[in-house]
Amino acid sequence: MKPTLLIFGEDWDRHPSSTQHLMKELMSSYRLVWVNSIGLRRPGLQDLGRLKEKLLAPSVTRKSTTPLPSDMEVIAPRVWPLAQSPLIRALNRRILAWQLRHVGKVDLIWCSLPSAEQYLDLFPGVPVVYYCGDDFGALSGVDHRRTLSAERRLAERADWIFTVSERLLKRFDPAKSELLRHGVDLRMFSEPRARPSDLPDGLVLGYYGSLNEWLDYGLLDRIAQTFPDANLVLVGPNMGAPDSLLARVNVHWLGARPHAALPAYAQHFDVALLPFLLNEQILACDPLKLREYLAAGCTVVSTDFPAAARYQGYVALNHSPSAFIQSIRNCLKLRRERSVLRKLVANESWNLRASKANERLQRLRPSKCEAI
């Protein structure tokens, strides 16, 4: 019988996270029990729609937008996020214990969100891994004070900690933490795809991902002005792009697309863009799209931030808007072979990342673990 791995992660059916990529590679070795996101802020009026969606979701499901294996299930927790009242915290634990009553023996716990910390006492003696994929003290939409407090308690309780960047690694006890960078689905992004029908004809300067506050919209506006004969294509949900940018005649906002559709867009970008602001979140991040662009054979022009600096000489790194613009010009004149760019990430697959994680999980796994 496979050991049971309990995962406190993001919502399974939303845009795939790094934890989802890793767990898909580990499915053959573990029975997976995935607990959907327990929020990182107390809900407000703006969250009522999402709260309703979560409450109406099945408590336990083996259904998904993609088929789940027979030995995986997804739990929709009915708990109040970041509860501070001892009474509500106790009620939350009882509710989640009831939802997990059928799970039986849990062998290992994987936490991708600090909010999981409140529920670890349901599993005394079970080894805990904390997978830190973001700077939660800088992430937008998060109750920073309470989340960081929960992260400190989780880090103390964790038997091992993985982080996706050196900057995050420095926060934790070096005796029980190590770097586990993000990976990429090499096959998915390198297999040739037809040009998407909604991608405009002609030259394409492209970006995909959430249009959020960490993007430099002033720089994007300047790019659109400087290259009037090129199409600036933005693929992703709009979380803050200014109307003035989207109204430009050569700017095309295509909206969100499924992850499986993204390789087709990336492969047909003439230049892929990473126009990030250099804030604390970006300095600590390891964006999935960087390796995905490279696996697709994209020429990449980026703000100079630590995760991109690893590919210096192949990714054009820039400290100013003027340098960014010039790099686009240079890359349009002299484009690298797609095969050269793909080789940069040839040894950075999710399969290899998951194998590294699994080596640690196997060492942590005890012979006996307590049931809930």
DSSP state letters, 323-368: HHHHHHHHHHHSPPPHHHHHHTTTT-BHHHHHHHHHHHHHHH--S-
pLDDT number for residue 301: 98
Mean pLDDT of the chain: 91
State pLDDT tens for residues 298-326: 999 999 999 999 999 999 999 999 999 99
Angle at 350 between CA 237 and CA 132, to 5 degrees: 70
**Whether domain 186-343 has CATH 3.40.50.2000:** yes
* Residue that has been written with the tokens 């004149």 in this structure: 333
Rounded CA gap, 278 and 135, in Å?
13
Q: Which two tokens stand for residue 52?
A: 């309703």
pLDDT number for residue 58: 58
State pLDDT tens for residues 127-156: 999 999 999 999 888 889 999 999 999 999
Q: What stretch(es) of the chain map to CATH 3.40.50.2000?
A: 4-183+349-364, 186-343
CATH number of 4-183+349-364: 3.40.50.2000
Rounded CA gap, 322 and 320, in Å?
5
State pLDDT tens for residues 228-263: 999 999 999 999 999 999 999 999 999 999 999 999
pLDDT number for residue 209: 96
Rounded CA gap, 111 and 6, in Å?
8
Using a 10 angstrom Cβ sphere, with 0-12 exposed, 13-18 middle and 19 or more buried, the burial of residue 85 is exposed
Q: What is the mean pLDDT of residues 56-71?
A: 64
Does the pLDDT at position 371 exceed 50? no
Write the CB contacts of 49 (distance below 8 Å, at least 6 apart in sequence): none
13: confidence class by pLDDT, cuts 50, 70, 90: confident
47: confidence class by pLDDT, cuts 50, 70, 90: very low
Least confident of 1-5, 56-60, 189-193, 333-337: 56-60
